[in-house]
Structure 1
Amino acid sequence: MGEGNIQGIRKDYGVEELSKTSVLDSPIDQFELWFKDAMKSEGSEVNACVLSTLAEDNCPEGRVVLLKFFAEDGFTFYTNYESKKAQQLAKHPFASMTFYWRTRERQIRLKGRVEKVSAEVSDAYYFERPEGSQLGAWASPQSQEIPDRAFLKKRVENVKQRFETEELKRPDFWGGYILIPTEVEFWQGRPSRLHDRIVYSLVDGQWVTKRLAP
């Protein structure tokens, strides 16, 4: 195999620009503006983002999750409460989310404290999911070692049989988290790597913006 030299891969940006005077007062409103724009240009899973948490060895770990709701109070995603990310959040309840929308040459990074959403909120979303996903939440021992895929399929069949005679409910070990942002950065690709970066920081309950060098 070769050395994997990819230094020659590059792209010059220049679709849009971003300034302190062009952004909205609230980072949530600005996020919504860019999110709606991305929905028109990016296609499927525009809500995909990299969620980064802190592992026991103090090394950050990232994985792609799907954002399911956002509002002024924060950004919500769902997972198994016994998964590795959940264990990490239990010990260090802070995380970051990174969104990247290639066609619009935009990135959003946000960070803040993470809390579990209420059981009522988790219940409501759980029963909006397709049946296969509902059963899968019961069947998958997320992040645990399993012998093979047949093991997983067998667990799904067992869950199906169980809920033929029982009323389906949300597993106690599955539900939502909300990331409550204290900082949100909007990045717009610009020519010659002189990118536009506007960051919102929460200061005494108010959002303050500043421009960062690329």
Structure 2
Amino acid sequence: MDQVWYASYGSNMSAARFGCYLYGGTPIGGTRRHPGCRDTRAPADDQALELPGGVYFAGESRNWTGGVAYYDPELTGTAYARAYLVTGEQFADVAAQETGREPGAEIDVAAVVRDGRLSLGPGGYETLLCLGERDGHPIVTFTAPYPAAAVEHTVPAAAYLRTLAEGLVQSREWTPEKAATYLVELSGVRGNWTAAEVTALLPAATG
């Protein structure tokens, strides 16, 4: 697979955080060091993207603690995302690192594009989806195998939520307040964080 748009709706919307998967490193506020991709070229492009569906938080992150962001295309609404134009190999290496595999693990990205869906296992981020195309390149992402309604929703940690907000501000040219308004309506955040609290996370990440 030559090039694909990797659609991030979670912490990888932050360029610095995504860079840890591309080039290697530990994200600010995270606990795990990532080895990086075999091909460490920067994305050829990145663009703001809207996906039909929604984002929710569930489970427990090994890197951030707290809930993990997942995408459910069956939810009502819009999931705001950032799409990076990368090679199929780079996407496979990012997906591998997200699922605890080493870069170079065999992932058939062409099958995701052909069939629309590929399961690597039962865990979070082990379900790969193709969500259409943009500018002649397929849009691909990964999420949990279960819908939002099938699992208990959990509260994301401050460092994780800050990184999501940072990515929204970067990619969409939103104000911190607008990013916070979007995030506090997501299940797992709603009722547990206020917009003012999320907004207050941003200066340390973007100042």
State the TM-score, normalizing by the size of structure 2: 0.26
State the TM-score, normalizing by the size of structure 1: 0.25
Q: Which has the larger radius of gyration?
A: 1
More strand by share: 1
